[in-house]
A and B are shown apart, each in its own frame.
Chain A
Amino acid sequence: TQLLEQSPQFLSIQEGENLTVYCNSSSVFSSLQWYRQEPGEGPVLLVTVVTGGEVKKLKRLTFQFGDARKDSSLHITAAQPGDTGLYLCAGERGSQGNLIFGKGTKLSVKP
């Protein structure tokens, strides 16, 4: 049983379009992180959300943590080819702070 479900698995859009990807769980996490991973590289942290209902903005990216701290979404406005990559969400579990990752959403933005 996967703890964190990400959807969609794949997304291919044209430059300038908006999109939302989701990260859902039946478990409560004390914090949730979003990463972007480009081919041949390791994941790079985009944001950490901690409080239920929290919304964080990073330029054209908007991250929301669900009120119950079980789910999160990432919205990208006016996508650019440079946004192409694998978007991973990861929830913090346990006192050691170990992260549980979703399988990711592979985003392709075509010029």
Chain B
Amino acid sequence: ETGVTQTPRHLVMGMTNKKSLKCEQHLGHNAMYWYKQSAKKPLELMFVYSLEERVENNSVPSRFSPECPNSSHLFLHLHTLQPEDSALYLCASSPGGSGTDTQYFGPGTRLTVL
């Protein structure tokens, strides 16, 4: 148990559906992250929030929309996804935004887009 929880753990959706992924951290951290982990690619950083402000958006398509209502919660809203968006979506948090800070990862949401 790392103190970072993600729900749901598994999600199957059609290309026309709208769904949301939720991440919650119980560590009092100030920074939160969304990563995408595909089978044949390195772990890719999608979004970074620091003190609830988005500080990084790595050219992610607009069909992925993050939301950070407070420092403990992070959402990833999904709409009109493509089959190639199927992947493991990992949330992480860290005390601050420095790369030497330890990032604590959640268990991930395994997303399948049909």
Interface residues in chain A, defined as those with a beta carbon under 8 Å from any beta carbon in chain B: 2, 4, 30-31, 40-45, 48, 50, 88, 90, 92-94, 96-104
Instruction: Write the nearest CB–CB distance from B49 to chain A, whole angstroms.
Output: 12
Q: How far is the CA of A48 from the CA of B100 in the complex (A)?
A: 7
- Which of B11-19, B39-47, B61-69, B70-78 interfaces with chain A? B39-47
The one of B40, B99, B104, B106 that contacts A99, using a Cβ cutoff of 8 Å: B99
- Is there a chain A Cβ closer than 8 Å to B2's Cβ? yes
Please list the 8 inter-chain residue pairs (A to B) with the smallest Cβ-Cβ separation, ordered nearest first: A92-B99, A42-B105, A97-B99, A101-B43, A97-B98, A101-B42, A103-B42, A31-B100
- Is there a chain A Cβ closer than 8 Å to B32's Cβ? no
B interface, by DSSP: helix, strand, loop or mixed?
A: loop
Question: How many B residues touch A, CB cutoff 8 Å?
Answer: 25
Instruction: Write the nearest CB–CB distance from A52 to chain B, whole angstroms.
Output: 15
Between A31, A92, A96, A100, the greatest number of chain B beta carbons within 10 A of the residue's beta carbon is seen for: A96
The one of A4, A48, A103 that contacts B102, using a Cβ cutoff of 8 Å: A48
Contacts of A98 in B (CB 8 A): 45, 48, 56, 99
The one of B44, B90, B97 that contacts A96, using a Cβ cutoff of 8 Å: B97
Q: How far is the CA of A10 from the CA of B98 in the complex (A)?
A: 31
Contact A99 B45 (CB under 8 A): yes
The one of B55, B105, B107 that contacts A40, using a Cβ cutoff of 8 Å: B107
Instruction: Write the nearest CB–CB distance from B16 to chain A, whole angstroms.
Output: 29
